[in-house]
Chain A
Amino acid sequence: MSEVHVDAAGHAEPTFSTKAIWRTFWILLIITVVELVLAIVYYESHFLPKHFLNGLFVIGTLAKAFFIVAEFMHLGHEIRNLILTIAIPALLFVWFIIAFLWDGNSYKNLRNNYDRYHLEQSQKKVEQKEPEAKKPGAME
């Protein structure tokens, strides 16, 4: 918890701790590196079900978001009313994400059920062509 100096006009002046900043930096970096290693190892070996891995990625992302907002943006050190006025509206995202992903999934199932042609087309493999020669101006 940081020390707070409140002046006559009611402006708080929190003191910054460089140590806490660097700690947050390391946490963010480590989470990102772990996520990358998991993604790369999965790409090479498919060692885990992708759904499980996605769960880990989402948790990692939310953790990173928490540390950025709480430490870098300093929200964790503001007074509680301010934290709530930001955090409660953000809860709308819970509904937002669940409702819309559910809807997308439902649309896919309905379409696959009632539009067999669409399903067949989307399962058709594209024949692998010979890799084309590099076009002029192509970047490495």
Chain B
Amino acid sequence: MSQAIPAGQKWWSGGKSPFNVEYGKLMMWYFLMSDAFTFGAFLISYGTIRFSSNGWPDPNHVFRSFPIVGEMHIPLAFVSLMTFILIMSSVTMVLAVGNGHAGNKRGVAIYLGWTILGGIAFLSCQAWEWTHLYHEGAWWGRNPFLNMDGSQSSTNFTNFFFTITGFHGFHVFSGVIINIIMLIMTLQGTFERRGHYLMIEKAGLYWHFVDLVWVFVFTCFYLL
């Protein structure tokens, strides 16, 4: 579904943006692609180690707790809440970008605010999950969980879990900071004076990418 381009338009003859996007946005795409390979390398090394191991802990057993109600014995309930929060914040981010296109400063600010809240909610959930696992005895170099077949497991599971979700959480954290800066700039009218809200789009691309990575982290650690 590519865009309709006027026939005979010479994109590569100079003076135009051949990809029909602004320079910064294109570079954001390339940055995200390189970041995708960083995350890909992490997740694939996790997969390689898992394939090379005779046993692995059962994620349904490890991730079954929920704050306040404790051991609900509904596996994955909490992580699905986290996934929902992140998808929801992605939606509000698109709505902010959409409002930016319409030049609606108030709408941009409102939806950016919701996106920031979603990001903070996600980080809080992750902080709770890490604390909970830490108190169960899991940390870098420590793994209290047995393999699915009841044999002794190595620390590979916890090492990869904390490293990769930590790296992702750090991305969410920087995304929240970027969005807060965007919100301040919006409220100060910087984009209004500039005449366009392209900056919001670039921040949005980054935010969706964080959501995208979570989809893969979710599958690799919690489902497979």
Kindly state whether residue A117 has any CB partner on chain B within 8 Å.
no
Across the interface, name the chain A residue whose C-beta is closest to B43. Answer: A97
Among A12, A40, A89, the residue within 8 A (CB) of B21 is A12
User: Given the complex of chains A and B, what is the CA–CA distance between A58 and B224 in angstroms?
Assistant: 9
Report chain A residues within 8 Å CB of B38: none
Smallest CB separation, A106 vs chain B (Å): 8
Across the interface, name the chain A residue whose C-beta is closest to B131. Answer: A139
Chain A: interface residue count, which band? Answer: 35 or more
Contact B68 A21 (CB under 8 A): no
Contact A65 B215 (CB under 8 A): yes
Among B50, B55, B87, B198, the residue within 8 A (CB) of A122 is B55
Contact A86 B29 (CB under 8 A): yes
Smallest CB separation, A31 vs chain B (Å): 9
Per-residue contact bits, chain B 2-24, to A (CB 8 Å; 1 contact, 0 not)? 11111000010001111111100
Smallest CB separation, A114 vs chain B (Å): 14
User: Given the complex of chains A and B, what is the CA–CA distance between A124 and B22 in angstroms?
Assistant: 59
Contact A12 B216 (CB under 8 A): no
Smallest CB separation, B199 vs chain A (Å): 13
Contact A104 B40 (CB under 8 A): no
Per DSSP, chain B at the interface is: helix
User: Given the complex of chains A and B, what is the CA–CA distance between A107 and B40 in angstroms?
Assistant: 21
Question: In the complex where A12-B3, A14-B3 touch, is A139 in contact with B215 (Cβ < 8 A)?
Answer: no
Per-residue contact bits, chain A 5-30, to B (CB 8 Å; 1 contact, 0 not)? 01001111111101001100100110
Per-residue contact bits, chain A 86-115, to B (CB 8 Å; 1 contact, 0 not)? 100110110011001101110110011000
Q: Which of B25-63 contact A (CB under 8 A)?
A: 26, 29, 33, 36-37, 40-41, 44-45, 47-55, 60
Contact A79 B19 (CB under 8 A): yes
Contact A73 B3 (CB under 8 A): no
User: B residues touching A (Cβ–Cβ < 8 Å)?
Assistant: 1-6, 11, 15-22, 26, 29, 33, 36-37, 40-41, 44-45, 47-55, 60, 65, 67-68, 70-71, 74-76, 80, 83-84, 87-88, 90-91, 93-95, 97-98, 101, 131-132, 135, 146, 149-152, 198, 204-205, 208-209, 211-212, 215-216, 218-219, 222-224
User: A residues touching B (Cβ–Cβ < 8 Å)?
Assistant: 1-2, 4, 6, 9-16, 18, 21-22, 25, 28-29, 32-33, 35-36, 39-40, 42-43, 54, 57-58, 60-61, 64-65, 68-73, 75-83, 85-86, 89-90, 92-93, 96-97, 100-101, 103-105, 107-108, 111-112, 119, 121-126, 128, 135, 137-140
